[in-house]
Amino acid sequence: MQTRKLTEKKVAAILARPAEGRSSHADGAGLTLITYPDKDGRTRGAYVLQARTALTGDPLRIGLGSAISTSLAKARAEAIRLRAVIAAGGNPVAQKREARADAQAAEASTVGKYLENVYGPAMVKANRKAASASQARIKAAWKPLMDTPLAQVTEAMIEKVIEKRKGLEDEDEEQLLSNATLRRDWSTFRPLLVMAYETRIIPTLPIIGIPKPLRGLTEEPSKRYLGKDDPDERRRFFEALDAFDSAEPGGGDFLRVVCLLAVNAGLRRGEILALRDDMLPLNVKGEERVELPAGICKANKERTVYLNVETVKAIRRWQAVRKALKVEGMAGELFPGKADWSGRITRREFPRLCTEAKIEGLVFKSLRCTFASLHVQRGTPLQTVQQMLGHSSVTITERHYAYLRKDAGRKQAQAFNARKV
């Protein structure tokens, strides 16, 4: 039996000596105590087993723990166990490496777990304040991928998430998330994928470069409305609308009434096409209005919209024309039956109206924008515009139209005098 060179007492004495650089203290059978000075000049030690693989004779160096937390007896017992593994053809170093890789793979099994267990902590070390915001952004923007195995994330999955977020609309039927927000979502998520690739958690990056839905995106232009860049545009529009004719049922009166409901009352296309006669109290002069039930409003809140004389005349004219329409299932709908009313607006008649008026870049919902923009420019309070448009919050109205209030506060500022308040 081989004589041991170390004892617990000798180890304690070695660690108590002044540090004199790195040195080795053999115990026998490959077990060694390695000592070294720490940053404060004190002697520290660690047990190491040195051996060779049974099959190839490759050298192995296996750490057994710190001499402070691991006793000599425990180090000897672990060394005996490891030598038995080596003698049987095993490689404890490779096994330990594989176990560590398996543990990392388990932590990174899904995008959410990798964010929580690996990427998030790494971000905290780099910048704690920014890490919190970035993790929250990734969880919110990429929620559909959180339970997806990280190695199974594909380019198509990434683009699908972006497309879905890009297609979200607010209550004004406008893109809810700005292009800058969509780009920021990607720029926050991409480093997570890069880190997983660089640390060999995933074999390849699922996407190279910019995702297709983000290519060519620029900052959104301000709202398009009649007269925005051409003062004569409104005159041409209304002249063309007055003269408009159609070979489809109801002739030009259909487009006239829907356009006036949009541009003079701010109604959405879906709200207009869902109108019924019982939503239109038109019998009391000065009280003519639309009573919109919650079920057809974007914000799911009922609202009242008052109508001007021109719009009331157009509705009554259409109701008279409607009596001659040959449609099935007429039961009080302003636009009855299964006719393609929406297609007449979006694809056929409104585009032709714009062509006849020599107007470019205008779509039907631009009429609702015209209603709101002209009100704001004329000084109508944003809270009132919010109520007329049916926005659930004045914040939405401000986001789209507050920039038009160029003289906001002018009168108050000119009348204010701190000496006399």
Domain match, 101 and 113 both: no
Nearest to 367 by CA among 248, 249, 272: 272
Which stretch of 82-86, 216-220, 257-261, 382-386 has the lowest confidence by average pLDDT? 216-220
Quote the pLDDT of residue 139.
Answer: 93
Query: Considering the domain boundaries, does residue 301 fall inside one?
Result: yes
pLDDT per residue as tens digits for the range 249-268: 899 999 999 999 999 999 99
Quote the pLDDT of residue 240.
Answer: 94
CATH number for position 96: 3.30.160.390
Query: Considering the domain boundaries, does residue 321 fall inside one?
Result: yes
pLDDT per residue as tens digits for the range 32-50: 999 999 888 889 999 999 9
CATH number for position 400: 1.10.443.10
Task: Mark which of 182, 214, 246 sits at the end of a domain.
Answer: 214
Domain match, 308 and 397 both: yes
Quote the pLDDT of residue 227.
Answer: 86
Domain of 246 in residue numbering reads as 233-410
Query: Considering the domain boundaries, does residue 227 fall inside one?
Result: no
* DSSP per position, 216-258: T--PPPPPP-TTSS-TTHHHHHHHHHHH---SSTTTTHHHHHH
Domain match, 314 and 366 both: yes
Query: Considering the domain boundaries, does residue 220 fall inside one?
Result: no
Q: Which DSSP helix (H) or strand (E) runs through 23?
A: strand 23-28
Task: Mark which of 76, 105, 134 sits at the end of a domain.
Answer: 105
Domain match, 294 and 335 both: yes
Domain match, 93 and 169 both: no
Instruction: Provide the token pair at 55.
Output: 């099959």
> What is the C-alpha to C-alpha distance for residues 388 and 375, in angstroms, rounded to an integer?
10
pLDDT per residue as tens digits for the range 306-326: 999 999 999 999 999 988 887
For residue 159, the tally of other CB atoms under 10 A from its CB is: 16
Domain match, 340 and 385 both: yes
CATH number for position 132: 1.10.150.130
Domain match, 164 and 306 both: no
Quote the pLDDT of residue 1.
Answer: 46
Q: Which DSSP helix (H) or strand (E) runs through 377?
A: helix 365-377
C-alpha 87, offset from chain centre: 56
Total domain count for the chain?
3
Which DSSP letter does residue 176 get?
Answer: S
Query: Considering the domain boundaries, does residue 228 fall inside one?
Result: no
pLDDT per residue as tens digits for the range 407-421: 655 555 555 555 565
Domain match, 253 and 294 both: yes
Instruction: Provide the token pair at 195.
Output: 């880190």
* DSSP per position, 50-102: EEE-TTT--EEEEEEEETTTS-HHHHHHHHHHHHHHHHTT--HHHHHHHHHHH
Domain match, 249 and 340 both: yes
Query: Considering the domain boundaries, does residue 226 fall inside one?
Result: no
Domain match, 264 and 381 both: yes
Quote the pLDDT of residue 107.
Answer: 57
Nearest to 159 by CA among 134, 179, 142: 142
Domain match, 163 and 305 both: no
Query: Considering the domain boundaries, does residue 398 fall inside one?
Result: yes
Q: What are phi and psi of 280, to 5 degrees?
A: -120, 80
Task: Mark which of 89, 105, 121 sits at the end of a domain.
Answer: 105
**Does residue 207 contact residue 155 with C-beta atoms inside 8 Å?**
yes
pLDDT per residue as tens digits for the range 162-197: 999 988 876 666 677 778 889 889 999 999 999 988
Domain match, 291 and 401 both: yes
**Does residue 177 contact residue 126 with C-beta atoms inside 8 Å?**
no
Which DSSP letter does residue 110 get?
Answer: B
Query: Considering the domain boundaries, does residue 312 fall inside one?
Result: yes
Q: Indicate the average pLDDT of the chain.
A: 85
